[in-house]
Structure 1
Amino acid sequence: MYSLFALWAIVAANSALASVHDLNNRLSHEDAVAAAAKANRLLKRYPPDRATFAITTTPAFAATSTVVAALGEATQGASGAFNPNVAFNPLAATPTTCAPSYTAPTMITGTGTLPKPSTFVKKRFGDRFLNLDGAPFTIVGPNIYWICQDENYGPVGSYTDKGRVREALAIAVAMGANTIRLHSCGISTGTYFGTNPYNLNPGLFKYNEAAWDIRDYVIYAAGQYGLRIVLPLTDNYKYYHGGKYDFIDFRNADPSNAGSSFYTNRAVQGSYLAYVGQLLKRVNPYNGLTYANDPTILAWETGNELGGYIEAEMWPPSSWTRSVVSYIAAYDSNHLIIDGTNGFYNYTTKARSQGLQVPGINIVTDHGYPRNTALISTEYDIAAPYSKNFLIGEFDWTTTRSSQSLAAYLSLIESWKPNVGDLAWSVFGHDAQCCNFVKHNDGYSLYYPNGNSAADEANVLLLVQHWYRQTNRPIPSQLVGVACPQPAF
């Protein structure tokens, strides 16, 4: 889930397929768990805010055309691609009016609140829970997808201001997090139709040296704040920071069937693994550690929502997942591996992801849009025989977009402690001047601490108190404040 870029598609849709993927009644569709399942309909696998996506029998990215936008010329992908026309978010002039400040009895004024990672989070064979130094460890925290490369402030994909990085990390600490999930740090491929020159791996075996510093710094700084990191390694979709279609494009491979060649074409897979290898072997000059030997990194996630919401795609084959796990393990025996599929159970077809059966997968994951206690209860039970830790890697925290209350959702998760972790989507802080919140328009942006509606602020406090409980810390009665700017280092 990212910003609401305009979507387009070739509309010559197969009528039967179109009926399966009808998004016209999306809101009721998302909350239709209790209703009778309609034949052949994937009730769950539609992320929110994709209402303008149109299914077509024309393969995604099978064709390109040139369109002239107000900002200049851009290459437009075919069905399923995101519109690159808005390729630049101008930096605001020095603001004259700032958002209201927030102070509290407890303020995060720098690093040192949490112990810095020095050992690795592990999972013992047969356990469902993770452990750190022999004690159970429950993953909690926010997604901060933009923290390495942003799309909301400055040129799309440009490297995030380090002051904003430090504030975001301090926000995570204030919220009670022990872990953060960072898409744009782990996923940085292609050029997004030629509009993003900042990505780490812009072409086949090409690497942008300038792109390393922000990753090195974010990982180092997260460790200084006592946080651990989950790094997804690719994305099911073609976003500004890249995804699986880049590796298909690098090899001029067949993009049909929702990019299935990403899983079946050996050359495409080799390009992906080569990119993963660059991350594993990278030596971070800020701390002298390779990424493979850095305890700040908690887990590698094979991808984000792999399988996605196009029915024909389903989940990656186990052969692909096994090969990725084997490749990572050859360079890295320290870190956990998350199966980055779009859930592992489909309540319409009752199908289960093959990743459940891969021994090297430590954690299975799903994303909660909308919140659904019945679904996660089923998934919790499904994961048990496989001794997998269950991570709700993204979920809706708001008051308006799910019919089930956040309190009930979090209470159920707490009843499963320490076997289930949760990471909310998604946190935003201030601009580089510490003046106004950087805005994002997917409907799930959490502007900490005081940039949300009054109703949503109440949910923020519920979320924060939940994370403090999950990490066995004293429960705050009000939101902990964050100094902005944070001290530079």
Structure 2
Amino acid sequence: METVFKGRARARVSLIHFFVRRFAVAVAAIFLLTDGRHAHVDLAPVEILGGADVDTLAQRPNVNGASSSEVIADEQWRMVKTRGNQFVVGDRPFYVNGFNAYWLMILAVDPSTRGKVTEVFQQAAAVGLTVCRTWAFNDGGWRALQKSPSVYDEDVFKALDFVASEARKYRIKLILSLINNWDGYGGKAQYVKWARDDGGLNFTSDDDFFSDQTVKGYFKNHVKNMLTRVNTYTSVMYKDDPTILAWELMNEPRCTSDPTGNKLQEWIQEMAFHVKSIDPDHLVEVGAEGFYGPSSPARLPANPNTYAGQVGTDFIRNHRVLGVDFASVHIYPDTWMSGATLEAQLQFVASWMEAHIADAEGTLGGMPVVFTEFGASTKARKSGGFNATTRDQLIQAVYGQLLDSTRRGGAGAGALLWQVFPEGTDYMDDGYGVVLPRAAATARIMSTHSKELAVFNSRCAWSCRWGCRREQQSEDVDDDMPFVSRMNLA
């Protein structure tokens, strides 16, 4: 999307400009009030932001055709903050359309596959995606970032540096997850193993990760080493880099040994404080799946099944922690509701999202909520399984719920598809992968949603591009008013 502010707005507006501005705002308001769900997206050749079709995705050097060497001016590449239940960059709203690509660091280590990182950023930027969530960990094992506690492979760390550098070139912000709940890429089990091997300590389960002082010390050191790392490509310390949108404490934390949730809650409190003590400028999120727990019994029926309320997580309680800036939720109807009909799964998606958006706005006192993983496998061979067409219906359903929230200035701040791959990486696909150049209908849906969000994100563009002064606007509009409402007053 073309940068709007290329110079200061003139102090006064001519009469012609006044009427032009009013006409443009009226047109925008009509568009914004129109139902933007994609239930009837036509199958014309996909239109990519900037005018490219799907066949050019693999060759596109950058969004809007810009060279990857064109770096955004520092004053325009700023930290994402929260204001009430919305993300903001400066004084502009920042609604998110994004994706997951957990593998970026691993492929960036090898020069023969490093180009895949650039390729996926090119393709994502071409359909307007602005946020990528990826792993900032690989503990023990193959191509480990952290080979043992606080012992790092510099080549792997440089690979993560490269990922951050490339993301900036393509105007994509990163959510960096700091550890895995699961065994993949080491996870909490590797930390417990390190402590057991080093000290002969007697652990009862991998959930001791959340309470053992030695293990927590290992993790705190990793957090410090990550946040204070100086990027070898940009010379910017990670904690000062606006390319990073947020730190995620853990991917999908669970503590099944303590269904009360007390053990995990204490860990979240301790680690959120630890991250903020080192880096008070970046946002922090838990990484939770969004399951309701004992603190909100009235919400337990909203969970996809009974077991979800017994895994030691608690959406409401976990997100009341000081230092947690926005809520995270995942959406996997295909695995959570295996065997259910497509209609039942889509109904669940709607109610699941509505419940969490409402709680973010109300019970949690007003904070953004991001659906940091959502998707469906097209490889599952079971009743109710998804194919490419029905998966697109799921994507449309998620986007539709978010647009409903966005139009009223609600807490639904965005969603990140699990997951996007470039060409030639089919060997990594778990069934959830989308290769944009080969998925024309999906790319079109994502591009359309990006355009719709871009209208909201360019609130200042509509009010300033016609020559008005931002200072005049700030005098007339209450800063606490939701951005969408303010837009209608412009």
Residues 59-78 of structure 1 correspond to what in structure 2 (within 5 A)?
none
Larger radius of gyration: 2
Q: Distance in 2 between matches of 1:473 and 1:113?
A: 25
Selected match of 1:251 from 186, 195, 199 = 195
Cα offsets for 1:46-105 (capped at 9, x unmatched): xxxxxxxxxxxxxxxxxxxxxxxxxxxxxxxxxxxxxxxxxxxxxxxxxxxxxxx92379
**In proportion to residue count, which structure has more helix?**
2
Query: Are the counterparts in 2 of residues 397 and 406 from structure 1 also a CA contact under 8 Å?
Result: no
Partner amino acid, structure 2, of 1:382: D
List structure 1 segments (4+ residues) > 6 angstroms apart after TM superposition.
308-311
> Where does residue 93 of structure 2 map in the other structure?
136
SS at match of 1:471: helix
Q: Specify the code of the residue in structure 2 equivalent to 1:121.
A: V
| TM-score (norm. length: structure 1) | 0.65
Is 1:146 paired with 2:134?
no
Deviation at 1:247, TM superposition (A): 1.2
| Among candidates 328, 335, 341, match of residue 365 of structure 1 | 328
Query: Which region of structure 1 is more displaced relative to structure 2, 140-149 or 437-446?
Result: 437-446
* Structure 1, gaps ≥5 residues long: 1-100, 431-435, 475-489
Work out whether residues 141 and 424 of structure 1, in 8 Å CA contact, stay in contact via their aligned partners in 2.
Answer: yes
Report the counterpart of residue 180 of structure 1 in structure 2: 132
How many angstroms does 1:260 deviate by? 1.6
Equivalents in 2 of 1:461, 1:424: separation in Å? 14
1:146/1:160 contact within 8 Å kept: no
State whether structure 2 residue 429 is matched by structure 1 residue 413.
no
- 5+ unaligned residues in a row in structure 2: which ranges? 1-53, 293-299, 334-345, 379-384, 458-490
Q: What is the rounded CA distance, in whole Å, between the counterparts of 1:144 and 1:295 in structure 2?
A: 19
Determine the structure 2 residue equivalent to 1:210: 155
List per-residue Cα deviations over 1:140-175 (Å, max 9, x = no partner).
21111111114xx9xxx8677331111111111012
Q: Which residue identity is paired with 2:177?
A: P
Distance 1:102 1:236, change over 3 A: same
Match of 1:393?
A: 372
Task: Please say if residues 288 and 330 of structure 2, whose CA atoms lie closer than 8 Å, have aligned partners that are also in contact.
Answer: no
Corresponding letter in the other structure for 2:449: H
Task: Indicate whether 1:422 and 2:384 are aligned.
Answer: no
Match of 1:102 among 55, 58, 79: 55
SS at match of 2:251: coil
Q: TM-score, normalization: structure 2?
A: 0.65
Distance 1:254 1:286, change over 3 A: same
In structure 1, the residue matched to 2:432 is: 444
Match of 1:91 in 2: none
Name the aligned partner's letter for residue 421 of structure 2. Answer: F
- 1:374 paired to 2:365: no
**Code of the aligned partner of 1:415:** D
Q: Match of 1:289?
A: 236
The answer on whether the counterparts of 1:283 and 1:289 sit within 8 Å (CA) in structure 2 is yes
Q: Which residue of 2 aligns with 1:10?
A: none
Is the alpha carbon distance of 1:205 and 1:108 closer, same or farther for their aligned partners in structure 2, counting shifts above 3 Å?
Answer: closer
Contact kept? 1:113, 1:225, Cα under 8 Å: no
Cα distance in 1 for residues equivalent to 2:187 and 2:373: 18
Larger displacement relative to structure 2 (360-369 or 244-253) = 244-253
CA distance in 1 between partners of 2:247 and 2:272 (Å):
10
1:469 is the counterpart of 2:413: no
| Matched pairs, number | 348
Shift of the 237–158 alpha-carbon distance from structure 1 to 2, 3 Å rule, reads farther
Give yes or no for contact 1:344–1:365 (8 Å, CA) kept in 2: no
In the TM superposition, what is the alpha-carbon distance from 1:130 to its structure 2 partner?
Answer: 0.9
In 2: Cα distance, 1:315 partner to 1:188 partner = 27
CA deviation map 1:384-432 (0-9, x unaligned): 23122111011116775378643233111111126321000111113xx
- Which residue, out of 119, 122, 139, partners 1:170? 122
- More displaced 10-residue stretch of structure 1: 396-405 or 224-233: 396-405
Tell me the CA shift for residue 356 of structure 1: 1.7
For the Cα contact (< 8 Å) 1:160–1:214, is it kept in 2? Answer: no
Partners of 1:188 and 1:102 in 2: how far apart?
A: 34
CA contact (8 A) 2:181 2:254 kept: yes
Q: 1:108 to 1:465 in 2, by over 3 A?
A: farther
Pick from 282, 296, 303 the counterpart of residue 250 of structure 2.
Answer: 303
- What is the aligned-residue identity percentage? 24
The aligned residue for residue 12 of structure 2 is none
